Amino acid sequence: MDRTERFHLIDMLLTNQRLVTFRQLQERLEVSRATLKRDLEYLRNRLGAPIVWDRDAGGYRFDRDREQAGQYELPGLWFSAEEIHALLTMQHLLANLDAGGLLGPHIQPLMARLTNLLGSGRHPAEEVRKRIKLIPLAARRLSLDHFASLGTALLHRKRLRLTYYAKGSDETSEREVSPQRLVHYRENWYLDAWCHLRNGLRSFAVDGVRRAEMLETSAREVPEKTLDAMLGSGYGIFSGRRVAWAKLRFSPARARWVALEQWHPKQKGQLMKDGDYLLQVPYADERELVMDILRHAPEVEVLAPEALRRKVADQLRAGLARMEGGPSADAGSGNPQAGA
């Protein structure tokens, strides 16, 4: 019988018999005195079990007042030390990735319990945090003051009145939207919503929301299939019904990395005989795709479509002109912004 089973048996005996002597516990568990003492101490000190020694009755029982107050509940899920280490490691990574601190408060009670379960083992939680370091590159500092308001309206299926600032156009607008879902994408949160001003689906960067007011009006429901068709069929956060396919050819030096990347769930990849890698991805708006292609220049060639090839070439010429101090080509900013 392992320790988990012993804990559940101790709990069952104290619940059913009300009072159990030390000898009875030892005989039922078939363990030494030292092991039983350690088990009882762990249940009391680590798990908060209201086990008390009744000197007059000569046995152990539950303190019913503490038990009814809800201070103790034997968990139904148990972890090994290795599993706890893995969970604490993931919590540490999440704390660094969750720039807005939005998820941490919700998982903190679980992590506190896991820290107690881990105790003073070979690798306590402090050691995990000390030995693992995450350095997010080019991560933006986000102001997500209205995230809770957006989430509340989303779950209550109510419309929102937004004051929204679009960094791409440097414009502020008033919108009434029906929230559909929140999406975390590339270090930022986006609200997919039906925009009643534009009469269509839009993605709004949450850090661009300047004011959010939940209305009493029920939100317009958009089927999930429609959301995926409009906002998930093309590359990146921008999408639409008119989807084209980009055909990209990467050099052998870059192919070793790109072949392991997922640019889109429906992408098609093929390793060529000469070592090049051919990647095809669907897109409806080229802004974000162009930026990702430029990250791999000059180890990538746009084979098709011709409009995308010209756009990338214009961006390269504009960048070269800026580096040389000359006039830049009128090729657009290349800075994608949601909520147009």
Q: Which of 198, 201, 210, 197 is nearest to 166 (CA)?
A: 210
214-240 pLDDT per residue, tens: 999 999 999 988 887 777 655 455 555
In the predicted structure, residue 295 carries a pLDDT above the cut 70: yes
Query: What pLDDT, on a 0 to 100 scale, did the predictor assign at position 121?
Result: 47
CATH for the 3-68 domain, from 1.10.10.10, 2.70.70.10, 3.40.640.10, 1.10.3720.10: 1.10.10.10
Question: What is the mean pLDDT of the segment spanning 146-152?
Answer: 86
70-113 pLDDT per residue, tens: 456 555 545 566 666 666 666 666 665 555 555 556 566 666 66
Q: How confident is the model at residue 69 (pLDDT cuts 50, 70, 90)?
A: very low
Q: Which of 8-17, 233-242, 252-261 is predicted least confidently?
A: 233-242
pTM (2 d.p.): 0.55
In the predicted structure, residue 284 carries a pLDDT above the cut 90: no
Sheet holding 268-271, edge to edge: 268-271, 277-283, 244-250, 300-304
Token pair of 28 as six digits: 């039922």
Alpha carbon distance 280, 267 (integer Å)? 6
Q: For residue 54, give the 3-state DSSP assignment.
A: strand
Q: Which of 133, 140, 135, 128 is nearest to 99 (CA)?
A: 140
111-123 pLDDT per residue, tens: 666 566 555 445 5
Say how far residue 279 (Cα) sits from the centre of its chain: 27
Looking at domain 147-231, its CATH class is mainly beta
Token pair of 181 as six digits: 């879902």
Residue spans per domain, the chain: 3-68, 81-131, 147-231, 244-324
First to last CA, the chain: 63
278 has which bridge partners?
249, 270
Query: What pLDDT, on a 0 to 100 scale, did the predictor assign at position 189?
Result: 83
Q: How confident is the model at residue 50 (pLDDT cuts 50, 70, 90)?
A: confident
Determine what percent of the chain falls in helix, strand and coil, rounding each to the nearest 5: 40, 25, 35
Q: Which residues of 171-189 are buried (b: 16+ CB within 10 A; e: fewer)?
A: eeeebbbbbbebeeeeebb
Q: Scanning the structure block, which residue is given the tokens 């807005």?
A: 100
